[in-house]
Amino acid sequence: MLARLNPMQLLRFAGLFTWGCMGVPLLIDLFQQDISGSDLYWWRVCYITFGVCYWLLTRSPGPNPRGRWLHLLLLGLLTLSAIGIGHFTGTGLSGAFLMVIAGLLPWFLATGWGLVWLVAQHSALIPVFLQLEGFDLLSAPLQAMLLFGYSSFVFLTSVVARRQMEAQEEQRRLNSELRATRALLAESSRLNERTRISRELHDLLGHHLTALSLNLEVATHLSQGRAQDHVKQAQSLAKLLLSDVREAVSQLRGDDAIDLREALFSLVDGVPSLEVRLDVPADFRVSDPGRAQLMLRATQEIITNAARHSGASRLDLRIAREGDHVVLEARDNGRGANAVEAGNGLRGMRERLAEYSGELVIQTTPGQGFALRLHLPVEIAA
């Protein structure tokens, strides 16, 4: 089961489990010593706030530009709650809670800003340690520095994990594009070979058989008796062979469309943390290689946006023919937004569609995910 979880999901469950375990000593300690009513109340508030904020923050798989300020607010509440736990309980467990936060920072902040946050939150531990018995102006900073070392290890481990996940996702994306392009090239090579063969049949055999038929026609007028009967029979066979050659050429030219099914299924195979459902007609063919390439690039861009930016767990893709258009419909169950902010990928998709008089329509609502509909004028082979 763990193999199916992405690093952020693993981090979420590990952090919540650690949060629950670290609350046990504090709960037991409540029955062994007296804590004032206000401190007990604020300890509970800080502990619950930490768990809730951690759960909310780890719902999404990574940083989202539209939710950056919300992420910063939740990270701030996490830090304040962790420090408050140590302050109101008179314990040093704040450092343990800050280690949990250290594992989150690389997923929501750049590495440099994450280190700044790490230093700031451990510096805030010094006043907490000064209120504890046995700490002075020398030992309190040293204790904070010791915990900072542990948290730095957690932070750097999380940095490595995130970079590894991004590298694996990039490798998977490139591999899927490579397989799709290879399938497209194989189809293009097949079509080129069929076109070459059809031309050879038409230009060589067709012309020669036509000349042979004309010469046999002349021979029927110059021959007599049984020889004329054999010439007429040869003429009939030549005409029949010429008809067969023309039919073979027509069949070769009639099947000159690119089959996109294999290439499309290569793109959706193995997308991490995203279930992609692809609905494609059984015999989906496109005559123009440029339009076929556009369909592949548009599908890849849709999958990438759903996996990286929408926070979706499922993406439904449907490709169908409507009159003289190909329609690509996509819908995910992500977070959605009030408005669409087109990045380089969407702008590039619109530019490529404009070259073929195509159209792209995107609809989104907060909490309702993204829906996309692409219209491409294209001749589909039956």
d(CA 287, CA 124): 66
d(CA 242, CA 380): 30
pLDDT score at 186: 67
Q: Are β-strands 275-279 and 314-322 bridged in parallel, bridged antiparallel, or unpaired?
A: parallel
pLDDT score at 6: 63
Write the pLDDT tens digit of every residue in 275-309.
788 888 777 777 677 777 778 788 888 887 777 76
pLDDT score at 251: 56
Write the pLDDT tens digit of every residue in 1-13.
455 566 677 777 8
**53 strand-pairing partners:** none
pLDDT score at 77: 92
Mean pLDDT, the chain cut into blocks of 10 residues (382 residues total)? 62 82 70 62 86 84 58 90 85 86 89 91 88 82 89 90 78 71 66 62 58 63 64 62 59 58 73 77 72 79 76 80 80 74 73 81 77 76 45
How does DSSP classify residue 65?
A: G
pLDDT score at 342: 66
The CATH superfamily of 258-377 is Histidine kinase-like ATPase, C-terminal domain (3.30.565.10)
Contact 325, 378 (CB under 8 A): yes
pLDDT score at 321: 78
DSSP run (H or E) holding 93: none
Contact 78, 50 (CB under 8 A): yes
363 alpha carbon, distance to own chain's centre: 19
- Looking at 6-124, list the stretches that DSSP marks H as alpha helix, in order from N- to C-terminal side: 7-30, 37-57, 68-89, 94-108, 111-123
DSSP run (H or E) holding 375: strand 370-377
Domain ranges of the chain: 2-168, 194-254, 258-377
pLDDT score at 63: 44
Q: Are β-strands 370-377 and 258-259 bridged in parallel, bridged antiparallel, or unpaired?
A: unpaired
Whose structure tokens read 């280190």? 115
pLDDT score at 115: 92
DSSP string, 261-326: HHHHHHHHTT-TT-EEEEE--TT-EES-HHHHHHHHHHHHHHHHHHHHTS--SEEEEEEEEETTEE
